[in-house]
Amino acid sequence: DGPINFGPRDHFWGCLSEGFYEPIYKMPYNPPYYNDLFIQYGFQNYFNQYTYHVPLRAGKMDEVIYLNGEHLTRDPDYHFECIDKRQVDKYAADFITIFNAAWARFPGVKPMRLEQAKQMFRSMKLVADTRAIIFGYYRKEPVSFFIMIPDLYEIIRKFNGKFGWIQKAQLYYYLKIRKINKRLVGLIFGVIPRFQGKGTAAGMILRFEKEVAKASFHYTDLEMNWIGDFNPQMMKLVSQIGGKIKKTHITYRYLFDRSRPFDRARKLG
């Protein structure tokens, strides 16, 4: 399979085939002819992964989001919150509870250990905007998360490949003080299986919409990356919040036994 990343699946994965716009943070970019090279060699399209563009405007989502989520906002058993940076280890523990239930069951995705999650959250702490990381709880038990970060590419593209102490200071200045970046990147979205289809995802989205509606919220766009065409439920959800496909990356597969029939990735659900 390729192109792939030997680290996280949501970073540097797939060959860009449509939407040759500027890249977003940790998403691959390649010239169009790369796809021809794969196909001519004998690779075939195993699955598409889409990047959706979502304009951030309060009150502009599909009515079904409000219908599915508003009843949970009134249910005392459910609670949706933005993270508190002073409790990153607590959210890291909540993250692996949800991740290992929601994602680790998929082929090629390994369960995450607590120390891995703590390291991830500590590294995000420097650049994260707490308004863009939402967790959902049912009777105080973690059941869902929606993690977005500012698109650092909007700033670091000015550094010409350098990242010394001057560039680090500039990153902090432009990110935290000037706040020149207008785009969020959706890193990962997860709901524990037994809470899927109950409005939990919509509840998180409505909690995030409260932040979007505030005058101090300066982001105008969200790009949700790495949504596979084998996940029609997630594709439907993103379209309901106003998302449109902006980019397509292809993960190709080559069968060494050329006599075997080729099957595309099996759809979830």
229-259 burial string, b = 16+ CB within 10 Å, else e? bbbeebbebbebbbbebbbbbbbbbeeeeee
Residue 131 clears pLDDT 90, i.e. is over it:
yes
| pLDDT reading at 257 higher than 90 | yes
The type of residue at 176 is K
pLDDT over 80 (residue 66): yes
Distance from C-alpha of 230 to C-alpha of 245, rounded to nearest angstrom: 15
Contact 187, 51 (CB under 8 A): no
Residue 81, sorted as left (phi over 0), alpha (psi -120 to 50) or beta, turns out to be: beta
- Rounded CA separation 13/47 (Å): 12
In this prediction, residue 6 has a pLDDT band, given cuts at 50, 70 and 90, of confident
How much is the average pLDDT of 80-106? 90
Give residue 52's pLDDT. 96
pTM attached to this predicted model: 0.89
Q: How would you classify the pairing of strands 221-228 and 244-253? A: unpaired
pLDDT value of residue 107 = 63
Query: pLDDT exceeding 70 applies to what percent of the chain?
Result: 98
Per-residue pLDDT, averaged over 8-17, amounts to: 87
Structure tokens at 114: 């607590």
